[in-house]
Amino acid sequence: MGGALHLHSKEGEGSTFTFMLPLQAGSTDHAAARPAVPAPVATTLPVAPGAGGTRRILIVEDDPFFSHLLADFVHGRGYTPLVAADGEEGLQLAQLEAPHAVLLDVMMARMDGWEVMRRLRADPRTSHLPVHFISCLDEWQRARDLGALGLVSKPVSREQLAQVFDAIEQAWAGALKRVLVVEDDESQLSSLAALLAGRDIEVVRCKSGRAALELLAHSHFDCMVLDLGLQDMSGYEVLEAVQAAPALRHVPVVVHSGQDLDREQLRVLNRHARSIIIKGRHSPERLLSEVQLFLHSVEQGGHAVEQEALALAGGKVLVVDDDMRNLFSLASLLGDRGVQVVEAENGQEALDKLAAEAGFDVVLMDIMMPQMDGYEAMRRIRADARFKELPIIAMTAKAMPGDHQKCLEAGASDYLAKPIDTAQLLSLLRVWTRR
């Protein structure tokens, strides 16, 4: 109907929804539905209107007048604008809204465009995004060195903006990835396909193991999402067949299962799959994150994974968690990056491992465990002079107010809330191992 819905929200104060419709139904004049441009307040996260195409363009610009002009142009190209008034806000929108490209200013308060670009490239969720700078600075080479498509200097003509979008669309043309989703439950299959679709991903659906192997043998796929409980053959048999075919071993496999797996099953799966996700409340978010991580690694020719491997390879990490699924998931993630992983299932076992072995670079410590919880384990570790400076990253599923401070007081160097964000974990490990 040519309308729009705007949201302005501030934590602790509330939200304002603005619903706009043209006076004449079916009007082709979309002027009334143009996105509102917020004042540059970091705590406001504007959500763009639904009209204007399926692809979303994130505009990070602190000049309200110019950001409004850019939003008009984005609408005119058939896309949906997302508007951020500064760099920090832009990063939040990039992580929350999964845009398809970014138009980025440089000179902004709190965080300039160069730093925004570095953080976008450092996060696997956003490292693939086409980014084009629009700035009053003339530093084209610096923009390209950071991985941007280019830089145009203000003032910008419509012809220059058209060239910017030509470059973005060319980047999109080469970025489509194919994912094979193997699931025999029709509702689950539809949900997974909807979750992955629309993010420069072509989703191919499949309900049986044999059909999946046939598709893999005759088509190219960048990733496979596999359920274990198939009707014609088990997911384990599919994995074994994939591993037996040299041409298919490179395809990353994300196992997405509702089965309660024992230790031996997890060991088998970790030999063949890149990631294991148990179906549950947070599994869709983690599945999307894992698939995007693998696809972006493929897109960069493995460069992102190689960089991580260079930063982490040769390290030794003690992983302390009473949930076997978490232990094996973290062991697989870190093992792929050349990290030696030692496992412990409770605080006392962690103390025993530290006493028996030398050379640990970091400890990943779960909090809620039987026998001895993470708080007590960290206090005892810090009481030993040998481990005064050993980095300890606490992991907890509670994420209640005060948990962060409680972890630090017990001896943690840093803190992660579950479900663990893969990119954040790897970033913290790189920081603490360098120290």
The 10s digit of each residue's pLDDT in 406-422 is 888 899 988 887 777 77
Q: Which of 115, 96, 73 is nearest to 104 (CA)?
A: 115
Give the mean model confidence (pLDDT) for residues 189-193.
84
| Whether CATH 3.90.180.10 fits 177-299 | no
Distance CA 407, CA 375 (A): 7
Q: How many Å apart are CA 193 and CA 207, to the nearest integer?
A: 12
CB proximity list for 355: less than 8 A, separation 6 or greater: none
Q: Which residue has the tokens 């730093």?
A: 115
Q: Report which secondary-structure segment, H or E, holds 183.
A: none
Nearest to 143 by CA among 103, 177, 183: 103
Could you tell me where in the chain the CATH 3.40.50.2300 domains are found? Answer: 4-173, 177-299, 303-434
360: pLDDT confidence band, cut at 50, 70 and 90?
A: very high
Mean pLDDT within 48-54: 43
pLDDT band with cut points at 50, 70 and 90 for residue 166 = confident
pLDDT at 378: 95
Q: Where are the beta strands (DSSP E) in 61-156?
A: 80-84, 101-104, 131-135, 150-153
- What is the rounded distance in angstroms from the CA atom of residue 370 to the CA atom of residue 364? 16
Cβ neighbours for 17, distance < 8 A, ≥ 6 positions apart: 5, 6, 7
Q: What per-residue confidence (pLDDT) applies to 200?
A: 62
Instruction: State pLDDT tens for residues 226-275.
Output: 988 898 898 889 998 988 887 777 788 888 877 776 767 777 776 667 66
pLDDT of 53 over the 50 cut: no
Q: CA 311, CA 302: separation in Å to the nearest integer?
A: 14
Phi and psi (nearest 5°) for 140?
Answer: -60, -45
Residue type at position 142: R
**Average pLDDT score over the chain:** 79
* Residue listed under structure tokens 């360098």: 434
| CATH code for the structural domain at 303-434 | 3.40.50.2300
The band of 305, judged by pLDDT with boundaries at 50, 70 and 90, is very low
With bands split at pLDDT 50, 70 and 90, how would you rate the model's confidence at 339? confident
Tokens of 314: 């040769």
Confidence label for 21 from pLDDT (cuts 50, 70 and 90): confident
Beta strands in 47-200 (DSSP E): 56-60, 80-84, 101-104, 131-135, 150-153, 177-182
| pLDDT of 41 above 50 | no
Compute CA distances 166 → 57, 149, 163, 172, 266, whole Å: 14, 11, 5, 10, 47
CATH code linked to domain 4-173:
3.40.50.2300
CA distance 48 to 56: 9
d(CA 243, CA 232): 19
Q: Answer whether residue 219 shows pLDDT above 70.
A: yes
Kindly provide the b/e burial profile for residues 397-419, where b requires at least 16 CB atoms within 10 angstroms of the residue's own CB: beeeeebbebbeebbbbbbbbbb
Q: Is the pLDDT of residue 47 over 70?
A: no
Share above pLDDT 90 across residues of the chain, in percent, rounded to a whole number: 27
User: Which of 119-133, 178-192, 260-274, 383-397 is predicted with the least confidence, judged by mean pLDDT?
Assistant: 260-274
Q: Tell me if 328 sits within 8 A of 345, measured CB to CB.
A: no
